[in-house]
Amino acid sequence: MALLTLSGIRVRYGSVEVLHGIDMHVEEGEIVTILGANGAGKSTTLLAVSGLVRPFEGDIRLDGESLLRLKPHQVVGLGVSQSPEGRRVFGSLSVLENLDLGAFLVKDGPKRSKTLEWIFSLFPRLAERKGQLAGTLSGGEQQMLAIGRALMAQPRLLLLDEPSLGLAPLLVRSIFETIRTINASGVTVLLVEQNASAALKLATRGYVLEVGNMVMEAPAKDLLADPAIREAYLGG
């Protein structure tokens, strides 16, 4: 059984339908990426999984159990955490407080400190700045914090929304390397990215979303080689 299954998801904001019946699945241990232009509905798809937007049709299942009736915090409790678009770190809280909130549902203190150590080993910069207010971090550091914070929940499935947005190329490479390390430690990753070539090099499979429709699904290396995809998302 797939870890995560979306079947026929339709979402609207007000009277505008933005997802017209999305089908996709993520298997345990995979890195799956969703490609698509701005406004294609990539972020909406992730928000629907987390329960922050409600589909009016279709179903989202984790291990075969529907998530649709659950509140967002209950979805986190089942092991699905998200690093949202725009990072959304709590600016007037310290780095450490942000990370600790990521583990809000982890009641076991020693377990929390262990995860924290692991995150500091992934992102040594966060350890250096742990007492600093999150709002004073650079964009790259905030991104690290957003990912680290999502990992503090010790998720089985990590949803990453545009982790490379606005970052310098060197930093993008290091963030993607870290995502690979996170995945190797046993966390399944669903990645939404505009930087298609970097995402496809990392991913096992990819989906292509176009104005609310899933138009393609293929192994990442096939998408990388596909002329139409190269044309549309990889700059020729």
Partner 1 sequence: MEQFFQQLLNGLAVGGIYALVALGYTMVYGVLKLINFAHGDLFTIGAYLGLTLLISCNIAGMLPPAAAVLAVFVMVGCLVAILGVILERAAYRPLRDAGRLSAVVSALGASIFFQNAIMLIYGARYYVYPDFLRPNFTVHLLGVAVPGVRLLVIGTSVGLMLLLWAFIHRTRIGAAVRAVAIDPDAARLMGINVDAVISLVFLVGPALGGVAGLMVGIYYGQVDFTMGWMYGLKAFTAAILGGIGNIPGAMLGGMLLGLLESLSAAYVAMAWKDAIAFLVLILILIARPTGILGERTAEKL
Residues 1 and 27: beta-carbon distance below 8 Å: no
10, 12, 57, 93: which one binds partner 1 (CB under 8 A): 93
In whole angstroms, the minimum distance from the beta carbon of 225 to partner 1 comes to 35
104 binds partner 1 (CB under 8 A): yes
In whole angstroms, the minimum distance from the beta carbon of 102 to partner 1 comes to 6
105 binds partner 1 (CB under 8 A): yes
Among residue numbers 47 through 86, which ones bind partner 1 (CB under 8 A)?
50-52, 71-73, 76-77, 81-82, 84, 86
150 binds partner 1 (CB under 8 A): yes
55-58 contact pairs (CB < 8 A, 24+): 55/9, 55/10, 55/11, 55/19, 56/10, 56/11, 56/12, 57/8, 57/9, 57/10, 57/21, 58/6, 58/7, 58/8, 58/9, 58/10, 58/21, 58/22
Distance CA 144, CA 150 (A): 10
Helix (H/G/I), strand (E/B), else coil: 191:
strand
Q: x/- binding map, residues 110-149, to partner 1, per CB under 8 A?
A: -------------------------xxx-x--x------x
Cα dihedral 96/185/124/100 (nearest 10): 0
88 binds partner 1 (CB under 8 A): yes
Q: With CA atoms as reference, report the closest residue to 193 among 211, 180, 207, 177.
A: 207
In whole angstroms, the minimum distance from the beta carbon of 198 to partner 1 comes to 22
In whole angstroms, the minimum distance from the beta carbon of 82 to partner 1 comes to 5
Q: Residue numbers of the site for partner 1 (CB under 8 A)?
A: 50-52, 71-73, 76-77, 81-82, 84, 86, 88-93, 97, 100-102, 104-105, 135-137, 139, 142, 149-150, 153
